[in-house]
Amino acid sequence: MRCESHAPGSFCTTVLRTRDPQRASTFYNALGRWTFEPVAGSRQHFVMLFDGTPVAAIQDVFDGQDEWVPHVSVGDIDSAISRALGLGATLVDTSAVTGFARLATLRDTEGARFGMWHQLRIRAPSLWRTSAACGGSK
């Protein structure tokens, strides 16, 4: 069974932050037959699919380093950002995809990047239901 939502605090997806989404899409399609769909209403965000199931995302970042960033599901992204900043994290950027998700990329106190994902609709990257991370058990 596939997971349609993620419990707050669970890792819910990974986002490829890249300056060239087309090049990345071509590479990953050839590597693993993943396909890509643009997110409606956004020229910056794409959903990565495996056998028609969303599994990750691509974000056009325009500049900076290309990298995969793991994202944690949050119920209230503004509060989660505030809490992280209070603990010493630094905010890299935020992004809102109308009707889809709100995202934030931060650096932890060691300098590692991580993301926060506030899902706004069901068609977000999925996980197999194996634990409480998906809001329940098998």
Which of 42-51, 80-89, 103-112 is predicted with the least confidence, judged by mean pLDDT?
42-51
Q: What is the pLDDT of residues 54-96, one digit of tens each?
A: 889 999 998 888 999 999 999 999 999 999 999 999 999 998 8
**Phi, psi (5° rounding) for residue 105?**
-115, 130
Q: pLDDT, tens digit, for every residue of 11-20?
A: 888 999 999 9
Query: For residues 14 and 41, what is the distance between their CA atoms, to the nearest angstrom?
Result: 21
Closest CA to 124 of 44, 37, 30, 23: 37
pTM of the model: 0.77
Torsion sign over Cα 100, 14, 11, 65: negative
- Answer for the pair 45, 97: CB distance below 8 angstroms, yes or no: yes
